[in-house]
């Protein structure tokens, strides 16, 4: 009993209690019903005996009992005996012993297992002298049959209760086995609560509802663990990306403060500090946008925008900004493309795509920006003749802080493309890439015009 859990103890005690109640109650019911039936029969027998006594009463001047009356009673046998114990009137059941000794004025029982009778004997007194006696016999076959039937029902009910208890125990085993994944889920959840996200249920018991629940729980844990890992990497990458410009600013500030320097040297220190400050500002801005995108708290400022004019302006701005890079920037833009959009987000998307093309380019390379309208679709593409992306890296370039070719490119924080995809999805668009190492890349963003 000590090894049983609480559920099994409750189930066992419940079954035993139910069985004991039936074992105690049913015999009591049997005794009560039996007593009631026999007492009812005895009352009826006494009533009939009283009636018979009245029928057999003597008339005035008569020396013998009046035996000429009809003594046949429904369901009851009556016989009148002489003082010599010989039947002078009436009849008895065939199996009844007519020579059974009388027991006067006391209801008693005669018979055997198959046939049983209730008997009452009374004396006949004439002028103070006994002239004979009569016997009233009531068969108890109906009562015996009823009690036998009830006893059979008791046996059947007891058997049913025993079977039901056994069935409860057996079904309890099946239920315990069926619910074992729930127990595993609880145990796994407790371990996860202690910080162990690597735990899984790994239930192999079938594909029923509980099995599906366990599999779903494992998938949820996979996503949860992956999310926590990405958040850890995100925190580490943020710290690393912020540390680089901060370190550069501190180093240049300390260098400017050490010893006497020329105005040109101070200018170079300030230029470096300004450049690193801009990098840090850009990184913080993108991190803030990324955080808002994760939380879903970014509020879009929708307006009808001339995407053609805005794209041309951005291309010209980047061309002027990077005129000394040696990279040729060209544009192929259809005029009059107007769309409901958030201008800030569109500018961020296009700047990120162009900056990515410039950073992963080659000396004297090229970048081409295209904006076309194809029926109800607006296609924005940015191609380059740069270093390209390997097939292994392609699925991961949309992840935050992921950098392909990290050995050659270290200035980019790796947030640009993840922000591009988020912006595209915010407006029901899609983004795709085609790339080949050594030949360049082509990024395409498609929007449906409503």
Give the count of beta carbons closer than 10 Å to the beta carbon of residue 132.
Answer: 21
Q: What DSSP line would sit under 254-317, residue for residue?
A: HHHHSS---HHHHHHHHHHHHHHHHHHHHHHHHHHHHHHHHHT-----EEEEEHHHHHHHHHHH
What's the pTM value of the predicted model, to 2 decimals? Answer: 0.48
Give 422 or 333, the one with higher predicted confidence.
Answer: 333
pLDDT reported for residue 1: 46
- Please compute Rg for the chain using Cα positions: 53
Short-list 413, 357, 405, CA closest to 380 = 357
The answer to whether the CB of 386 falls within 8 A of the CB of 440 is yes
The CA distances from residue 209 to 69, 186, 216, in Å, are 83, 16, 10
pLDDT reported for residue 33: 86
Given a cut of 50, whether residue 410 has pLDDT beyond it is: no
pLDDT one-digit tens code per residue, 121-137: 988 877 778 888 888 88
Residue 444 φ/ψ, nearest 5 degrees? -125, 135
pLDDT reported for residue 367: 95
The answer to whether the CB of 211 falls within 8 A of the CB of 201 is no
**CA angle, corner 317, sides to 374 and 418, nearest 5?**
60
145-149, 250-254, 416-420, 445-449, range with greatest mean pLDDT: 445-449
Given a cut of 90, whether residue 381 has pLDDT beyond it is: yes
Give 205 or 420, the one with higher predicted confidence.
Answer: 420
Q: Give the separation between CA 354 and CA 383, rounded to whole angstroms.
A: 9
Given a cut of 70, whether residue 92 has pLDDT beyond it is: yes
Which run of H or E residues covers position 428? none
pLDDT one-digit tens code per residue, 254-267: 888 887 878 888 88
The answer to whether the CB of 270 falls within 8 A of the CB of 257 is no
Share of the chain above pLDDT 70, in %: 79
Q: Are strands 108-111 and 116-126 parallel, antiparallel or unpaired?
A: antiparallel
Residue 131 CA to its chain's centroid (Å):
90
Which run of H or E residues covers position 89? strand 87-90
CB crowding 275-294: b at 16 or more within 10 Å, else e:
ebeebbebbeebbebbeebe
The answer to whether the CB of 307 falls within 8 A of the CB of 378 is yes
The answer to whether the CB of 48 falls within 8 A of the CB of 107 is no
Residue 408 φ/ψ, nearest 5 degrees? -105, -25
Six-digit token pair at 241?
């990306």
Burial of 156 from C-beta contacts in 10 A (0-12 / 13-18 / 19+): exposed
Residue 141's Cβ-side half-sphere holds a number of Cα atoms within 13 Å equal to 8
Q: What DSSP line would sit under 400-417, residue for residue?
A: TT--TTTTT--S--S-HH
Given a cut of 70, whether residue 309 has pLDDT beyond it is: yes
Domains of the chain: 6-165 (3.30.450), 195-299 (1.10.287.130), 303-448 (3.30.565.10)
Mean pLDDT of the chain: 79
If pLDDT is split at 50, 70 and 90, which confidence band does 434 have?
very high
Determine the average pLDDT of the residues in 183-189: 73
pLDDT one-digit tens code per residue, 8-45: 667 677 777 777 787 778 788 888 888 888 888 888 88
Q: Give the separation between CA 39 and CA 25, rounded to whole angstroms.
A: 21
């Amino acid at each position: 009993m000590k090894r049983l859990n609480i559920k099994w103890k409750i189930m066992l005690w419940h079954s035993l209690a139910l069985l004991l109640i039936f074992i105690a109650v049913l015999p009591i019911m049997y005794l009560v019903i039996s007593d009631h039936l026999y007492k009812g029969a005895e009352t009826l027998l006494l009533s009939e005996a009283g009636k018979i006594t009245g029928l057999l009463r003597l008339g005035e001047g008569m020396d013998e009992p009046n035996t000429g009356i009809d003594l046949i009673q429904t369901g009851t046998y009556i016989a009148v005996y002489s003082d010599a114990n010989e039947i002078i009137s009436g009849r008895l059941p065939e199996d009844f012993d007519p020579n059974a000794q009388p027991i006067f004025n006391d209801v008693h029982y005669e018979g055997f297992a198959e046939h049983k009778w209730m008997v009452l004997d009374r004396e006949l007194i004439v002028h103070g002298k006994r002239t004979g006696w009569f016997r009233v016999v009531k068969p108890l076959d109906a009562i015996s049959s009823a009690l036998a039937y009830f006893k059979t029902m008791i046996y059947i009910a007891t058997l049913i209760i025993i079977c039901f208890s056994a069935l409860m125990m057996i079904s309890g085993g099946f239920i315990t086995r069926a619910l074992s994944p729930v127990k595993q889920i609880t145990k796994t959840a407790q371990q996860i609560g202690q910080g162990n996200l690597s735990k899984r249920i790994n239930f192999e018991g079938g594909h029923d509802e509980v099995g599906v629940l366990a599999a779903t729980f494992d998938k949820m844990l996979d996503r949860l663990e992956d999310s926590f890992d990405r958040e850890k990497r995100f925190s580490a990458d943020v710290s690393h990306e912020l540390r680089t410009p901060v370190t550069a600013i501190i180093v240049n500030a300390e260098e400017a403060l050490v010893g006497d320097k020329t105005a040109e040297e101070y200018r170079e220190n300030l230029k470096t500090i300004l450049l690193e400050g801009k990098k840090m500002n850009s990184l913080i801005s993108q991190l803030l946008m990324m955080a808002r995108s994760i939380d879903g708290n970014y509020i879009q400022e929708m307006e009808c925008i001339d995407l053609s004019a805005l794209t041309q302006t951005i291309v010209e701005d980047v061309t002027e900004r990077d005129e000394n890079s040696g990279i040729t920037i060209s544009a192929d833009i259809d005029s009059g493309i107007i769309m409901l959009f958030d201008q800030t987000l569109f500018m961020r998307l296009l700047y990120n795509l162009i900056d990515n093309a410039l950073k992963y380019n080659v000396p004297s390379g090229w970048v081409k920006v295209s904006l076309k309208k194809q029926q109800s679709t607006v296609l924005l593409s940015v191609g380059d003749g740069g270093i390209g992306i390997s097939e292994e890296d392609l699925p991961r370039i949309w992840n935050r802080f992921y950098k392909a070719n990290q050995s050659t490119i270290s200035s980019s924080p790796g947030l640009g493309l993840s922000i591009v995809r988020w912006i595209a999805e915010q407006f029901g668009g899609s983004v795709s890439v085609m790339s080949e190492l050594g030949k360049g890349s082509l990024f395409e963003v498609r929007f449906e015009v409503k």
